[in-house]
Amino acid sequence: MVLADLPLSERDPALAALIRRENELEATTLRMIPSENYASRAVQEAAGSVLANKYSEGYARKRYYEGQEIIDEVEELAISRVKALFGAEHVNVQPYSGSPANLAVYLAFCNAGDTIMGLSLSSGGHLTHGHGVSITGKYFKSISYGVRRSDHRIDMDEVRALAHEHKPKLMWAGTTAYPRALDWAAFREIANEVGAILAADISHISGLVVAGEHASPVGIADVVTSTTHKTFRGPRGGMIMCDQKHASAIDKAVFPGLQGGPHNATTAGIAVAALEASTPEFKRYAKQVVENAKVLAAALGEKGYAIVTGGTDNHLVLVDLTPKNVTGKVGAKALDKAGIVGNYNTVPFDPRKPFDPSGLRLGTPALTSRGFGTEEMLQVASWIDQVLTAPADEAVQLRVRNEVAELCAKHPAPGLVT
């Protein structure tokens, strides 16, 4: 056998062992980072396929390379499925990920130095919505809106006042650590009042939107961006949806504006994910994601944790650990040792620093993919409380980790090698 035909386990045993260990970790722990999920075996097969060998700059039927007859069909299939799912007039599936998708929106509608508006990172917004460390905060004049002190919800009065004061060219509505639904129509009204382009970023919630568990901004916002790997449960990638009138600006911004050749294997994975998201099974999945988050929020609330906004409308819960005298980082690290993987996170108006903030961000998409329901979420809440009540107690962590592994064994995660 030639070297190029050897399986990974023989060609590169060291790397193969690392993948096996990650597989084991994902199989035996509770993955509660809200942006993570388990892509199906079919999605992974497509995303790891020979389609990645191809170079195909351009768009279907308008390529700069020959030999594209199959790639064109793959991309058209992905686009038509995503269009049907979201009811979008135009779809671009080429962005390499969520951040490049957002950059394409800037390039399509703004010039350097223009004023843009987005939710601040500390209120649950994304870096690419104008944060100072991001190119989007460096190359544009970035105005941030936040959440209200009283209820930690986005303050639409503040959004309106800032929009009227600064007249942004582009307004972002989208979140990465915010447990509540967004009022797309209210954002649209404000954007209209000041003549701004409205961009909705549904990176976290696109799976919920497809299933009708979160209202859709498609047809309301001028442009909608999303990752494909969070609740949408596809391969790592990005996509942009818009009305026909913005199609050419968006397509030109992605290629040749920002990127070279599209990642065709990823495109194929997106096509598979879109097929999966069109099923009744996925609808039930998304409904359970939200239900599970509500159960988790209520259970932790009853145990004395401060739940930001008092609950959740989506797939994530933001927990303020202050009442328990544990910091976010200490809490997240203790939970990690117990096999419960989340991330420390700032809470609104956090008196602590982002590197060791007051909160934890916990999500239910991955747990729900492995079939967890109410009963399991109550058990998870109990384990979280046991660990956080004694964050230095390694015996508790070890016991919980074993119990977690037992429950995981009863609910095998999809797409893993067993």
The residues annotated with a catalytic role in the active site are 55, 57, 201, 227, 230, 236
DSSP state of 221: B
Report helix angle 69-86 to 264-277, nearest 10: 30
Provide the minimum distance between the beta carbon of 177 and ligand PLP in the complex, in angstroms, as a whole number: 8
Smallest distance from the beta carbon of 312 to ligand PLP, in angstroms? 16
Provide the minimum distance between the beta carbon of 125 and ligand PLP in the complex, in angstroms, as a whole number: 7
CA–CA dist 152, 198 (Å, integer): 23
Q: Is 98 in the site for ligand PLP (CB under 6 A)?
A: yes
Q: Return the number of the residue (91 or 173) whose C-beta is nearest ligand PLP.
A: 173
Using rule CB under 6 A, residue 176 touches ligand PLP: yes
For the bound state, the minimum distance from the C-beta of residue 100 to ligand PLP, rounded and expressed in Å, comes to 7
Instruction: Decide if residue 126 touches ligand PLP (CB under 6 A).
Output: yes
Closest to 321 (Cα-Cα) out of 384, 400, 394, 401: 384
SS3 410: helix
Report, in Å, the least distance between residue 272 CB and ligand PLP. Answer: 18
37 binds ligand PLP (CB under 6 A): no
- Here the contacts of 319-324 (C-beta below 8 Å, separation 24 or greater) are 319/359, 319/360, 319/361, 319/362, 320/347, 320/358, 320/359, 321/358, 321/359, 321/360, 321/388, 322/358, 324/388, 324/389
- Is residue 251 a contact residue for ligand PLP (CB under 6 A)? no
Nearest residue to 282 via CA among 228, 231, 334? 231
Site for ligand PLP (CB under 6 A): which residue of 75, 201, 222, 251?
201
Count of residues touching ligand PLP (by CB under 6 A): 14
Does 97 contact ligand PLP by CB under 6 A?
yes
Strand segments, DSSP code E, in 263-375 are 306-307, 316-320, 340-341, 343-345, 359-363
Report if residue 35 touches ligand PLP, rule: CB under 6 A: yes
In the complex with ligand PLP, the residue whose CB is nearer, 200 or 381, is: 200
Q: Computed from CA positions of residues 187, 192, 196, 199, in that sequence, does the dihedral angle turn out positive or negative?
A: positive
Q: Does 99 bind ligand PLP (CB under 6 A)?
A: yes
User: In the complex, which residues of this chain contact ligand PLP (CB under 6 A)?
Assistant: 35, 97-99, 102, 126, 128, 174-176, 201, 203-204, 227
